[in-house]
Amino acid sequence: MGYFFEHNESVPTAIRRILAEQLDQACRELDTENANLHDGIHSARRCFKKIQSLLHLIRGDLDPNVYDIEENRFKHIGQQLSKIRDSEAIIEAYDRLNATPSITPEHDETVYRSASSLKATLEKQRDINTSIQGDVRTVVHKLAQELKDTKSSLELWPIAHKDISTIAKNFSRNYKKGRKALKCVYASPSIKGFHNWRKKVKIFEHQCYLLKKCWPEFMEQKASDAKSLESLLGQDHDLSVLRETLNSKSSQLDSDSCDEVKKRVQQRQLQLRTKAHKLGKKVYKPHPMTMMQNVSAHWKYWKNPRRSLFIEIIH
CB-CB contact of 232 with 276 (8 Å):
yes
- Domain at 11-303, CATH from 3.30.70, 1.10.287, 1.40.20, 1.10.10: 1.40.20
Q: What is the C-alpha to C-alpha distance for residues 315 and 313, in angstroms, rounded to an integer?
A: 7
Beta bridge partners of 159: 62
| Top-ranked range on mean pLDDT: pick from 47-51, 75-79, 160-164, 253-257 | 47-51
Say what the pLDDT of residue 114 is: 57
Provide φ and ψ at 62, rounded to 5°. Answer: -100, 140
Q: What is the pLDDT of residues 4-37, one digit of tens each?
A: 999 999 999 999 999 999 999 999 888 867 667 7
Kindly compute the dihedral angle of the four CA atoms of residues 36, 242, 95, 205, in this order, to the nearest 10 degrees.
70
Percent of the chain residues topping a pLDDT of 90:
51
pLDDT at 256: 73
Lowest mean pLDDT among 85-99, 160-174, 248-262, 277-291: 248-262
125: three-class secondary structure by DSSP: helix
Nearest Cα neighbor of 217 from 287, 165, 294 is: 294
Higher local confidence (pLDDT), 59 or 132 = 59
Q: Which pLDDT does position 130 carry in this prediction? A: 59
The confidence score (pLDDT) of residue 139 equals: 76
pLDDT at 160: 86
What does the alpha-carbon distance between residue 311 and residue 243 come to, in Å, rounded to a whole number? Answer: 47
Identity (one letter) of the amino acid at 99?
Answer: A
Q: Is the pLDDT of residue 39 over 90?
A: no
Confidence of residue 129 (pLDDT cuts 50, 70, 90): low
3-state secondary structure 192-233: HHHHHHHHHHHHHHHHHHHCCCCCHHHHHHHHHHHHHHHHHH
Is residue 195's pLDDT more than 60?
yes
Q: Is the pLDDT of residue 108 over 60?
A: no
- pLDDT, one tens digit per residue, over 204-243 is 999 999 999 999 999 999 999 999 999 999 999 999 988 8
Rounded distance between C-alpha atoms, residue 165 and residue 295, angstroms: 9
